[in-house]
Each structure stands twice: as C-alpha cells, then as structure tokens.
Amino acid sequence: MAKLFWVEDQSHWIDRFSAVLKQADLDGEPNHLEVYKFPEAAKQRIAVMTDQHKPDLALLDAHMNGSDQAGFSVSRALLKKWPDLPILYLSEHSGTEIEEQAITQNDAQDFIAKHQRNIEAVLCWRIKAALKKRQAQQLGEQAGLRSGSLEIHTDSWEVFWKGVKLMNPHNPKRPLAPTPRKILRFLVERSPRPLSTEQIADLLEADLERFSYANYRQHIKTLRSAFDAAEGHSGEFSELCQQGRGIVTFGDAHAYFWKSDS
C-alpha cells in the first residue's frame, strides 16, 4: 500500500485527482491518500506524525492561499523529519521561478504541470517512477551510503575513507564527533546540492542564533582534517577539495557540498 501525503488548496483539483490517486496501481495494492487543503494544517499533522505514519511520497502544490512559499514550507517540514522522502509538485506554475526554486532549492524530485494533456496518466506514472527510484535507493542504503571512496555505515554512522575509519583529528584514539558525522551524512545525501548554514542548522535541529557560519565552518575544518589524517596527513584530501571534489566550498553563500572523488 502506497501512502501519499497531498497538500492542495483548490477543491476542484482534489475532486478531480482523489479517486485517481487512490485507485492507481502503484504497488499492486490500494493506496492510502491523506489530503490537506491548508499548509498550516499539513505542518501541524507532520509535527505529530511518527515513522509508523511516514508517507511514501508527498505531492504538493507550490502556490497556495496567495503565497508562493506555502508549498515550500510544507516541503521543509517533511524533509526535516524524513530527508529521504520523495517530494513531487503538482502545480499550475510550471516553467516559472516557482518551478526553478522547487527544483534547485527545495529538493523536489519532479514538478508536474496540472494543465497538460492526459494529466491523470502523467501524474500516476511520475509518482510510480519516483517510488521505484526511492525503493532502489533504500535497497542500496541497507549496505550503507557510498560515494566514491567514501562509505558511511547507516547502522552505526561510522565513516570510512578508502577503507580507513575517520577518527577525531585531535585525538586519533577517539571516534569522530557526532555533529561532524551528521553534517557529512547530510552533505552526501543532498549531493550535489549545496547546504547553507541555515539548512544545516535546520537539519541538526540547532538554534540558528547559536549555530553560525563560524560553527559550520569549524565542523567542515574538522571533517577535512579527519580525512587528511586517514590518508596519513599526506595532504591529498585537501588538494582534492581545492580541485572541486570532496567537501567543497560553495561560492560566498556560506554553504558547502559533497562531490565524489570518482
């Protein structure tokens, strides 16, 4: 049973697509559809949902109740709780800055125009494709996150670089601290998109007034030092970063991103 979380503020679209979404053959069983007309109500529901109620996919309108940011606010609430959740937009604003922002800044997997020929069929196969992609990712994650020479064990979140476990660069007998490991995980999961200070603080559930770019930069420095230590302080990882791979600085936007070495 595919669990779909849908936020749409216009009743005529809900009436048009509800039966289609419930009856679509996504995994061979009837689907469970949870619909909200108001972004705030959706976010209140997300706040109390447990992993038992985690949806398989979220379908969002972007522009709702006069706000271009309404759908994005729901997306942020969902991804804060479940960073791997597929987010699709079903919108009347295809080909606009709203679509660009959804794809480039809000981790949307797809942006579907409502006004197109055969939209019901298009919507169903796009959702099915997103679910299939997520299933493949989950199968890969059972063995851990991998990116080139980097491996993160998803059971313990231990980090290995070229087969060597990353340790605290200031005390090689101690493991790498949890916060740098979490940041590295987020960077790898969101690769190749950059993550700003605000986005990292949100993912860490940190107080933005206390978690500054200086904090973020210090954790990145710790990570880079740990990678260098794993290579015997040869400086190869630092050079890799300067070449635009590994942990890379993103312009002047107070952000970083991960790019594989292969």
CA separation, residue 123 to residues 28, 117, 183 (Å): 17, 11, 34
Regarding whether 155 and 94 lie in a shared domain, the answer is no
Domain termination residue (choose one: 138, 167, 182): 138
Average pLDDT across the chain, whole number: 90
Q: What is the pLDDT of residues 120-162, one digit of tens each?
A: 999 999 999 999 888 776 655 555 788 999 999 876 778 999 9
Which two tokens mark 141? 């994650």
Residue 32 is predicted with a pLDDT of 95
Q: Provide CB contacts within 8 A for 143, sequence distance 6+.
A: none
| Size of the chain, expressed as the number of residues it contains | 262
Which two tokens mark 34? 């949870």
User: What's the whole-number mean pLDDT along residues 7-31?
Assistant: 91
Regarding whether 105 and 50 lie in a shared domain, the answer is yes
Regarding whether 228 and 154 lie in a shared domain, the answer is yes
What's the CATH number where 228 sits? 1.10.10.10
Q: Does residue 67 contact residue 38 with C-beta atoms inside 8 Å?
A: no
Q: What is the pLDDT of residues 57-90, one digit of tens each?
A: 999 998 887 887 888 999 999 998 988 899 999 9
Regarding whether 226 and 111 lie in a shared domain, the answer is no
Total domains, the chain:
2
Domain termination residue (choose one: 138, 168, 201): 138
Is the CA virtual torsion 199, 200, 206, 212 positive or negative? Answer: negative
Regarding whether 115 and 31 lie in a shared domain, the answer is yes
Most confident of 105-114, 168-177, 223-232, 252-261: 223-232
Domain termination residue (choose one: 138, 168, 195): 138
Which two tokens mark 184? 């590295």
Domain that holds residue 90: 3-138
Q: Does the pLDDT of residue 99 top 60, yes or no? A: yes
Farthest-apart Cα atoms in the chain, separation? 63
Residue 134 is predicted with a pLDDT of 80
